[in-house]
Structure 1
Amino acid sequence: MIKIAVVGTGNVGRFAITNALAEEDVELVGVITRKKHDLGIAGTENIQIAEDITALDVKPDVAVLCIPTRAVPETAEKCLNAGISTVDCFDIHGKIVDLRAQLDKAAKANGRVAVTASGWDPGSDSIVRTLMQAAAPKGLTYTNFGPGMSMGHSVAAKSKPAVRDALSMTIPLGTGVHRRMVYIEVEQGSTYEEAKEQILADDYFCHDETHVIAVDDINQLKDMGHGVHMIRKGVSGGTHNQILEFNMTINNPALTAQMMIASARAATRQNPGCYTLIEIPVVDYVQGEREDLVRKLV
């Protein structure tokens, strides 16, 4: 059994708890949260809740970090230094390589494994993009997200001092170009103009067309559905016009959580170090013996 602890009880964390309880080879040994209350999730009545992972009675093999992206570097390094492997859903694409180097050093120093940028994008989509490039080495791949709620962008918008709550919708415009529709409740004592300025200055939003819209109640707008359509048009050897497509319509936090649980399983099968999902054999994400999986899936 793979002993895991889920860190964080937001949207992804709650699905990670539920999904971990459903896995036959995973044992949930703790939940890390500052909220000292009943989780309200069936099957967690006897699961230990703590504010710090080192306070758990049973030391986990892997910490599944369901926390905001910008909290990942410090928290992951703390877990690794405590001798606990980690899985995170860090989603700032341009900073993944730097984080990977940082966590690789900590993981190897402590004989542990870190899996970074897990989830569906980055994550499972990264694996599909890699496979597409292998099939058609020359060409272009366009990743079109949505329409749907972006958790990372929503958290980033909500973190602004002038914002009480936020929902960021990703609208695909085609050829990998997106529009961000950011709906906000303005914090009391702040103005819409202040909130808009803070959001547009953030690295999550400053590279895309972004519209900030004030609303009365964010909860009336929330829908955790999302999706992706990837298309690659390329060349295999000397054969042109190879067109590859991949479509997925999902519940965003549920799939993110499932890929993180699968990554926790994979983490126990790797040598010490830090890995992105494309660096791990895909068979290692799946429950079962490798020979049996090869027989069934190949």
Structure 2
Amino acid sequence: MKKLRVVVIGAGNVAGIAVRALRGREDVELVGVWSRSKHVGQDAGLLDTDEPCGVIVTDNADEIFALKPDCALTALNIRDPREAQVVNGEWFVKLLENGINVVTASDGGLVYPPAHVDQAYVARLEAAAKKGGATLYMNGQEPGFVEHMALLAATMSNTIKRITSYELFNYSSVKDRNEMALIFGFDEPPEKPAILEHPGMQLMVWKGPVTNVANKLGYEVERYEESYEKRVTDRDLKVGFGVIKAGNVAAVRLRTSAIVEGREAVVVEHVNRMCPDIAPEWEKADTVGCMRIRIEGDPNISMECSVGDPDKPEELGYDGYVMTAMRIVNAVPYVCAAPPGITTFRVLPLTTPSNAFRSDATFIDHKICRANT
């Protein structure tokens, strides 16, 4: 079997895990890694492990294209969705026009392109894909996997009043304060707005998922609603990136809703905490992290996917990144075999991993997750 040649664009958490996960597979091989971070010039294997892989991180895009890869996995760590669309879009167009398939977790709106907030952008990507005869696929843990769960749960429904997808994570082990503060508002005064608090920002990420579910059930969305709530801590909290002082934000609840036939019908809700006892009135999990589907209807259905090892809660953040990375790493062969254009999980077969039982050689007992750029 000829292995598919894969390049990784980025050197952060998801990219580093992707580099590790591409090793030892029968159908794919890593041939290049691009970044403009401090990791340029180092062996890409050291992004996530202590084992070199023989591929050196470069900041020269021409070198990446000269490798003539079959697929590019893009995982640029850009926190503002508006900036991310611009930067990722340029990469997507150039890769696709050069006949290189793309898998990415970097633009939630592309999980379901008909609902993307910028249809001119979608048309540009579609044209680039058709020109180069290549395919673009966006997925991840959430958006991506969670609405996959929601639709699976709905196959057991007769009637549905409301279907809600929850992400319930304790983020106290996360070591990157900038990500937590800028995106969510953690460790900031409550009056300081986070990126996701601005009107329309949630829709850039979750309009696609809620519309996807509604449309698959046969309904058009009449309008969307967004809400953002915060809770402050009454004491200093020691967390992965330092200390959150009393009076600063330590829990957030964000909710994106699709209104169908005059009522809230499909919802994505995130409840993220820095300690388990804050905001007890909000949805809670019995573990440090889970994704939950709740269908109110005939019958009532609840389905939950717990994340990480309950005995090692400090690894929750890492395990979340692994889940995101694997949704696109595992998709590489399926995307390379798909017709040109933008594809989705509703079109592709289940993207199960190749030779997954090969050994435990790709598992690392001590999870490093050293990349943060």
User: For 2:89, which of 57, 61, 73 is the aligned residue?
Assistant: 73
Using the TM superposition, give the Cα deviation of residue 181 of structure 1 relative to its aligned residue in structure 2, in angstroms. Answer: 5.5
Aligned length: 252
Once residues 96 and 90 of structure 1 are traced to their aligned partners in structure 2, the CA distance between those partners, rounded to angstroms, is 13
Native 8 Å contact 2:6 2:73 kept in 1: yes
Which structure's residues are more often strand, by fraction? 1
Instruction: State the partner residue of 1:201.
Output: 198
1:212/1:5 CA distance change after superposition, 3 Å: farther
**Aligned residue among 6, 9, 12 for 1:7:** 9
Distance 1:45 1:286 in 2: 20
Residue 57 of structure 2 is matched in structure 1 by: 49
* C-alpha distance after superposition, 1:189-217 (max 9, x if no partner): xxx69x92464437446732145889998
Separation in 1, partners of 2:57, 2:137:
24
What code does the residue aligned with 2:187 have?
Y
Identity across matched positions, percent: 20
Q: Which runs of 5+ in 1 are unaligned?
A: 159-163, 171-179, 185-191, 235-239, 289-298
When normalised by structure 1's length, the TM-score is 0.70
Shift of 1:232: 2.0
User: In the alignment, what sits opposite 1:246?
Assistant: 304
Residue 135 of structure 1: aligned partner = 156
* Distance (Å, rounded) in 1 between the aligned partners of 2:110 and 2:69: 30
- Provide structure 2 residue ranges, at least 5 long, that are not aligned to the other structure: 203-225, 244-273, 276-287, 309-318, 356-373
Select between 210-219 and 105-114 the one with higher mean Cα deviation.
210-219
Pairing partner for 1:58 from 67, 70, 76:
67
Amino acid in structure 1 at the alignment position of 2:303: E
Distance in 1 (alpha carbons) for counterparts of 2:20 and 2:11: 11
Query: CA, structure 1 residues 95+14, in 2 after alignment: closer, same or farther (shift >3 Å)?
Result: closer
Aligned partner of 1:110 in structure 2 is: 132
After superposition, the Cα gap between the structure-2 partners of 1:209 and 1:198, relative to the gap in structure 1 and judged at 3 Å, is: closer
Name the SS of the counterpart of 1:207 in structure 2: strand
**The structure with more helix, counted as a fraction of residues:** 1
- Residue 21 of structure 2 is matched in structure 1 by 19
Per-residue CA deviations over 1:119-173 (Å, capped at 9, x if unaligned) read 11122222222222233263122111122449xxx9xxx9xxxxx8241699xxx
Rounded to whole Å, the distance in 1 between the matches of 2:192 and 2:237 is: 13
Using structure 2 for the length normalisation, give the TM-score. 0.58
Contact 1:129 1:141 in 2 (8 A): yes
Cα root mean square deviation, aligned? 3.6
1:131-280 mapped onto 2 (5 Å cutoff): 131-136=152-157, 138-139=159-160, 140-149=162-171, 165-167=178-180, 182-183=186-187, 196-197=192-193, 199=195, 200-201=197-198, 203-204=200-201, 207-210=227-230, 219-220=241-242, 226-234=289-297, 240-250=298-308, 251-280=319-348
Report the equivalent of 1:177: none
CA deviation after TM superposition for structure 1 residue 24, in Å: 2.9
Q: Contact 1:72 / 1:88 at 8 angstroms: preserved in 2?
A: no
User: How far apart, in 2, do the equivalents of 1:244 and 1:136 lie?
Assistant: 11
